[in-house]
Amino acid sequence: MKPKNLSEIPKAYNPSDAEGKWYKYWYDHNLYHSEVDETKVPYTIVIPPPNITGILHIGHILNNTLQDIYIRYKRMMGFNACWVPGIDHASIATEAKVVAMLKEKGINKKDLTREEFLKYCYEWKDKYGGIIFEQLRKLGVSCDWQRERFTMDEHYYRKVIEAFVKLYKEGYIYRGYRMVNWDPASKSAISDEEVFYKEVKGNLWHIKYPVKGTDDFLIVATTRPETMLGDTAVTVNPNDERYKHLIGKTIILPIVGREIPVIADEFVDMEFGTGAVKVTPAHDVNDYEMGLRHNLQIINIFNEDASTNENVPEEFRNLDRYDARKKVVKKLEKLGALLKVEDYTHKVGYSQRGNVPIEPYLSEQWFMKMDELAKPALEAVLKGKIKFHPEHWVKTYEHWMTNIRDWCISRQLWWGHRIPVWYHKKTGEIYCEVDPPADIENWTQDEDVLDTWASSWLWAQDVFTNELDQKYYYPTDLLVTAPDIIFFWVARMIIAGMHFMNDIPFKDVYFTSTVRDTQGRKMSKSLGNSPDPLDLIEEYGADALRFTMTYISPLGQDVHFSNEMVEIGRNFANKIWNAGRFLLMNAQNIEINPELADKHIDFTDRWIISRFNRTLKEFADAIDTFEVNAASKILYSYVWNDFCDWYVELSKERLYKGSEEEKSAVLTRALKLYEEMLKVVHPFMPFITEEIWQLIDERKEGESISIENFPEYDANRIDPDAEEETGFLQEIVTAVRNIRGELSIPPSKNINLLLKSSEVTEGQIRYIKSLVKADKIEVNKNLVKPKASASSIVKSCEIFVPLEGLIDLDKERVRIEKEIERISKSLEGVKKKLSNENFVSKAPAEVVEREKAKQKDWENALEKLESIYNDLKE
RNA sequence: GGGUUCUUAGCUCAGUUGGCUAGAGCGUCUGCUUGACGUGCAGAAGGUCACAGGUUCGAGUCCUGUAGAACCCA
C-alpha cells in the first residue's frame, strides 16, 4: 500500500469535485458493460423505463438508488451484473406534449399527415428523451449504457407487434363496440387503470319527469343533468311500493319530448335519491348494461371531445358538456321541471394523463381477454416463484388478478405501436400479421395504436435483442418499482413472461416507499412540495442523497421527506471522509508496511475485525432479505460507532506512543480495515468511496473500487473473547466519562482512577488511561474506596475517581441514589419472575438462567452501591 | 361499501419465530478551540408502546373489539 502524498486534505468532503470526475472515469472505462459469459452467473435488472416526457423526481432517486445498490453489490460479489437502462415512448403523454408544442407554433395536428406528425414526435424524443438519463448519471447509476433501449426501437417494436399477432391468432384479442373510459382531451380510450377518482363537490339535481296521459310524475335525481338529453328509460326497483303502479307506463322526457318507458330492475337502490333512476345507456356504464338487459335505445349525445352532437335538440348542440349542463338546468328551471338542487360530494373519474373528467363513451376498441392469461401469472406469485417485498403486496396482486377484466388496448393516437390489422377495402375482411398484406393497395390499416403498457409489458424479455442474450439474462433477477404500477406494469409483465417465455420475468420484486412531504402529502407539481433532486445533489452531494433515501425509507411504508434530512447522508459522508483524512495524515509520517499488517495485534484489533465480520454477515442478510433500510443502518453504526468512535480513538494510543514498528503495524492495519469498509459502503455511496480508495493507494488506470471484490464474511474472525474484553473496556470508559459529565469535571482536568477488580488487564489499562484522560490508574482487588470520590460499577469492577475538593458530594449522592433506584426496580421485576413457579417450570431453561444471572449481577451491584452510598453519608 | 396497511420518546422511524433493564437518528439540555471531523466530541433528560378486553409463566410483539390516519379497488 502506498497512500498518495498529500500536502493538504480538505477538512470537509467536497462532492462536486469527485462526482463528475469519477462518473466520467467509470463511463470512459466502460466498467459496467456486461456481455454473455457462461463462466459467470448473471445478475440482471431492467430499469423501469422512465417516460420520455418525464423529468427526474425524488421517487426516481429512491428507486434508482436501490437498483444501483443491488447491481453494484452483486457486481462486487462476482456476478456478471447487468443493469439495462431504457425509456418508454409514453403514447398519450408524449402525444399531448407534442400536440401542445405544435399548437404553440400555430400548427394543428388535424392538418398534418400521420407521417408528418410522427416526425415531430421523434424530434421531440431526440430533444427531450435523453434528459432523464443525464440526470440519473449525476446520481451515479451503474447502468450498462451500451444496452440502452427504447420501446419503439426497431427490434422492440417488432416484438410488440408479434405479441399482438400471436394473441390475436390464439383468440385472446378481439374487437368490440363497448363502453370505455374516454378521455375527451386526447380523444382516446384509456384503460380502467388509467382512471383515478377524485372527490368533487357537485350537486344532485332533482328533476320531474311527467307520466304520459296523467298528472302523475316521477322524480329522478342525477349528478349529470345534461345527460337527460340522451335518456331512453326510467328505472325503478320492482319491489318499490311507491312506484309499482308506474312500471310499464310512459314518460315524456322534458325538453326533448321523447317518449320513454318506465322499467323495473333490481339494480336500482331504493334508498338512493328518490329511488327512480334516469337511464342514459350511451353515457354511463351501469345504464349501458341496463340498456342491454332491457333492449333500450342507445342514444349517443356527445362528440369525441364531449361536446353535444346532433342527437340533441338544436339549441343544445355544439356545447361543451359543462355548458350543456348549465343550459339544460336553466331550461328545466324555466319549465318548472327542476324541483330542487342539493349539494352533493361524489367521486368523479379523471384521466390520469390529461387530468380531465373521463366520459363513459361507446366506441369500437380492441380488447384483450385476460382471465385465462392471468392464471399462470397469479400462480407464479402465489407459489413463490416470484417473491414480492414486502410480501403483503401479494394480496393486492391476488385480488386484482382474480377479478381481472378485459383490457382495452387500443388508443386513438398516432404515437406508438400501430395495430397490425388491415381491413379489406371491398370485402371488409380482417388481416392480422406482423408484415402488411402484399396487395397493400386493397387494404386499410387500423388507425389506432396500442396502449403503452401493451408494449412495456415485454420489457423484461425483449430488451435483450438476440437469443443468446435473452437465454443468458432472462429471467431477470430483480425488479424495483413503485407499488402504484403493480397492475399497469408488474402484473402485466408477469403475464407476458408466463405466456410468451413460459417463464417468470424476474425472481424478486421490490416495491419502494412512496415519497411524501413532511405533512404526508404526495409530492406534486401543483403543490410545489416536490424538491428538484438535482438541487439536492448540488447542495449535499449524490452520495448524501442516496444514503439518506435508504436510511429514511422504511420497507413497505411511505417515507416523509424533507430537504434537511439529506444532512444525515452529508454528515455521514463527511465522517467517512475524515476518518480517511486521519489515516492519510498519519501516513505522511508513519510508514505503511504491508508486511506488518498482522503484527502487534491486540484485543482491540481482534475486536474490530470481529465487529467487521459480524457487520458483513448482518449486512448481507439484510440485503438478501431486501431490508435495505436495515442494511444502511448497519453500515452507519459500524462506520460511525465502531470504527470512528472506538477503533480510531483506541488506535491513537499506539499511533502516538508506540514503537516505530508498532505505529507502522497499527496504521497499515487500520488503513487496510478502512479500505475494506469503503468497499462495503461503496454500493450505497459510490463517489466518495471511489475518491478515497484512489487516494489511499497507488491505482492503475482503469482500476476502480466498484470492480473490486466485496469483503467476504469469515466466521473464524468472530472473536467473542476480544469482544468481551473490548466491551468491558468500553463500559469502564463510558462509566468514567459519565462521572466526568455528571459531576462537571472539566475535560482539561486529568484524574486518577482506582479500579477495584482482579480482571482488568494491562492492555486495557493502557487504553482506559488514554480514553478518559487519567494520569494514574491503580488496579487492585483489595482497594479501599477513598472518602471523597465518585464511584461506578461495571460488572465485578468498582470504579473510584478520587477528587478531593473537585467533586460535589451532594451531586454524587444523588447520582448514586438514582442508580440504586434504577437497579432496585429492575431487580424487583426479576425477583418477581423467578418467584413465580410457573415461570421457572414453563419458560425455557435458557431464559430462566438469564434471569438468574441478572439477579445475581444486580444484587451484587446493589450491595456495592449501598455501601458506597453509606460511605458518602458519613 | 370491499381490501391492504399503519398508530412506539417533541419529530421521523427500528424493534425478526412472544423472554426488554423498549433502541436509533434528528431536535432539546450540559460541557468541550481533546494533534480526522463543530457536517464534530463527551455526557444527560425524554416512553402506562392509540384505547379496551383476551390468550400466556410472560404481550410493543399473538387474537377480538373501539377510535383515528393513509393507500388501493368498486
Cell of A350: 379523471
pLDDT at A731: 93
More confident residue, A189 or A401: A401
Report the alpha-carbon distance of residue A289 to residue A474 in Å, rounded. 43
Local confidence band at A841 (pLDDT 50, 70, 90 cut-offs): confident
Closest residue to B18 (CA, C1′):
A843
> For residue A772, which nucleotide's C1' is closest to its Cα?
B42
Among A187-196, A325-334, A825-834, which stretch is predicted with the lowest mean pLDDT? A187-196
- Could you give phi then psi for residue A750, rounded to 5 degrees? -75, 155
Closest residue to B69 (CA, C1′):
A520
Kindly state the average pLDDT of the residues A162-171.
Answer: 97
- Answer for the pair A521, A527: CB distance below 8 angstroms, yes or no: yes
Pairing of strands A751-756, A797-802: antiparallel
The residue to which cell 482539561 is assigned: A748
Report which DSSP code applies to A745: -
Strand order from edge to edge, sheet including A195-210? A217-222, A195-210, A338-351
ipTM: 0.94
A734: pLDDT strictly greater than 90: yes
pLDDT at A345: 74
pLDDT at A558: 82
- Answer for the pair A2, A594: CB distance below 8 angstroms, yes or no: no
Report the alpha-carbon distance of residue A664 to residue A745 in Å, rounded. 35
Domains and CATH numbers, chain A: 188-359 (3.90.740.10), 558-702 (1.10.730.10), 719-802 (3.30.2320), 808-874 (1.10.287)
> For residue A347, which nucleotide's C1' is closest to its Cα?
B74
Strand B: which nucleotides have any atom within 7 A of a protein Cβ? 3-6, 11-15, 19-21, 24-26, 30-45, 56-58, 69-74
Local confidence band at A167 (pLDDT 50, 70, 90 cut-offs): very high
pLDDT at A495: 97
Local confidence band at A807 (pLDDT 50, 70, 90 cut-offs): low
Report the alpha-carbon distance of residue A351 to residue A372 in Å, rounded. 28
Kindly state the average pLDDT of the residues A858-874.
Answer: 86
> For residue A349, which nucleotide's C1' is closest to its Cα?
B74
Average pLDDT, rounded, for chain A: 91
Report the alpha-carbon distance of residue A230 to residue A605 in Å, rounded. 84
Local confidence band at A518 (pLDDT 50, 70, 90 cut-offs): confident
Cell of A278: 334516469
Alpha-carbon distance values, A769 to A80, A563, A731 (Å): 50, 42, 14
Task: Please choose, from the candidates A780, A773, A737, the residue with its C-alpha nearest in 3D space to the C-alpha of residue A755.
Answer: A780
pLDDT at A682: 97
- Answer for the pair A43, A81: CB distance below 8 angstroms, yes or no: yes
Cell of A146: 451500451
Read out DSSP for A341-405? EEEEEEEEEEETTT-SB-EEEEEEEEEE--HHHHHHHHHHHHTTSSEEESTTHHHHHHHHHHT--
> For residue A580, which nucleotide's C1' is closest to its Cα?
B36
pLDDT at A340: 87
Q: How far is the CA of A11 from the C1' of B41 (A)?
A: 16
Kindly state the average pLDDT of the residues A656-680.
Answer: 96
Closest residue to B42 (CA, C1′):
A737
A712: pLDDT strictly greater than 70: yes
With a pLDDT cut of 90, the percent of chain A lying above it is 62
Q: How far is the CA of A854 from the C1' of B60 (A)?
A: 22
- Answer for the pair A553, A627: CB distance below 8 angstroms, yes or no: no
Q: How far is the CA of A552 from the C1' of B13 (A)?
A: 8
pLDDT at A811: 82
Report the alpha-carbon distance of residue A207 to residue A382 in Å, rounded. 51
- Answer for the pair A573, A15: CB distance below 8 angstroms, yes or no: yes
pLDDT at A806: 64
Local confidence band at A191 (pLDDT 50, 70, 90 cut-offs): confident
- Answer for the pair A491, A370: CB distance below 8 angstroms, yes or no: no
Kindly state the average pLDDT of the residues A642-662.
Answer: 95
pLDDT at A805: 66
Closest residue to B40 (CA, C1′):
A575
The one-letter amino acid code at A207 reads: I
Local confidence band at A7 (pLDDT 50, 70, 90 cut-offs): low
Q: How far is the CA of A266 from the C1' of B40 (A)?
A: 73
A347: pLDDT strictly greater than 80: no
More confident residue, A869 or A119: A119
Cell of A9: 486534505
Kindly state the average pLDDT of the residues A737-749.
Answer: 86
Closest residue to B2 (CA, C1′):
A399
Q: How far is the CA of A486 from the C1' of B59 (A)?
A: 36
H/E element, A80 = strand A80-84
Report the alpha-carbon distance of residue A85 to residue A789 in Å, rounded. 67
Give the tens place of pLDDT for each residue, A746-777.
888 888 999 999 889 999 999 999 999 888 89
Report the alpha-carbon distance of residue A247 to residue A229 in Å, rounded. 21
A8: pLDDT strictly greater than 80: no
Closest residue to B36 (CA, C1′):
A582
Name, in order, each residue with C-beta under 8 angstroms of A425's C-beta and a sequence gap of 6 or more.
A442, A443, A444
Kindly state the average pLDDT of the residues A493-507.
Answer: 97
> For residue A836, which nucleotide's C1' is closest to its Cα?
B57
Give the tens place of pLDDT for each residue, A370-396.
999 999 999 999 999 999 998 889 988
pLDDT at A108: 92
Name, in order, each residue with C-beta under 8 angstroms of A282's C-beta and a sequence gap of 6 or more.
A230, A288, A298, A299, A300, A301, A302, A361, A362
Report the alpha-carbon distance of residue A527 to residue A522 in Å, rounded. 9
The one-letter amino acid code at A247 reads: I
Kindly state the average pLDDT of the residues A664-678.
Answer: 97
More confident residue, A643 or A363: A643
> For residue A851, which nucleotide's C1' is closest to its Cα?
B19
A271: pLDDT strictly greater than 80: no
